[in-house]
Amino acid sequence: MNPTKKQIAEAFSGGQFEFAYPYLADDIQWNIVGDKILKGKDAIIKFCDQTAKYFSEVTTKFTMSNLVVGDNCVAIDGTAEFINKENKSSKVFSCDVYCFENGKLKEVTSYCITTSNK
């Protein structure tokens, strides 16, 4: 049984990218507002793999505060805290909007604000 749109979005927002890979449309687009726009499944998987590598090198804590599920869209508001080996932390406040088409994740828009403690 395939996961729900909500489960796919929660996995992606929680850094469990590989769970979502089979459900990415070939022509997916990810707009990380103010930073970059990634186009195509291969480009997104490459970026996610690099991001997952970083996550494995730090302590991570994901918190999802609000989740809104529509017919073809899911929005998740949350935070991610990262603590490196020197005990320096950074926190990302984010809202991710996921749009699905024909059962595949077609578009992601991420709004992120990063803060850090030295």
Q: What is the pLDDT of residue 56?
A: 87
Residues 43 and 6: beta-carbon distance below 8 Å: no
Is pLDDT above 70 for 92?
A: yes
Average pLDDT, the chain: 94
The domain 5-117: what is its CATH number?
3.10.450.50
Is pLDDT above 90 for 35?
A: yes
Whole-number percent of the chain with pLDDT over 90 = 80
**Single pTM value for the model:** 0.91
Residues 5 and 25: beta-carbon distance below 8 Å: no
Q: Which residue has the higher pLDDT, 93 or 84?
A: 93
Is pLDDT above 60 for 118?
A: no
Stretch 28-37: mean pLDDT, rounded?
97
The amino acid sitting at 16 is: Q
Is pLDDT above 60 for 9?
A: yes
Phi-psi region for residue 20, left (φ > 0), alpha (ψ -120 to 50) or beta? alpha
Q: Which two tokens stand for residue 20?
A: 């979502």
Q: Which residue has the higher pLDDT, 5 or 87?
A: 5
C-alpha torsion angle, residues 53, 103, 75, 9 (rounded to 10): -30
- Give the tens place of pLDDT for each residue, 40-77: 999 999 999 999 998 888 898 999 999 999 999 999 99
Q: Based on C-alpha coordinates, what's the Rg of the chain?
A: 14
> Could you say which DSSP state residue 16 is in?
-
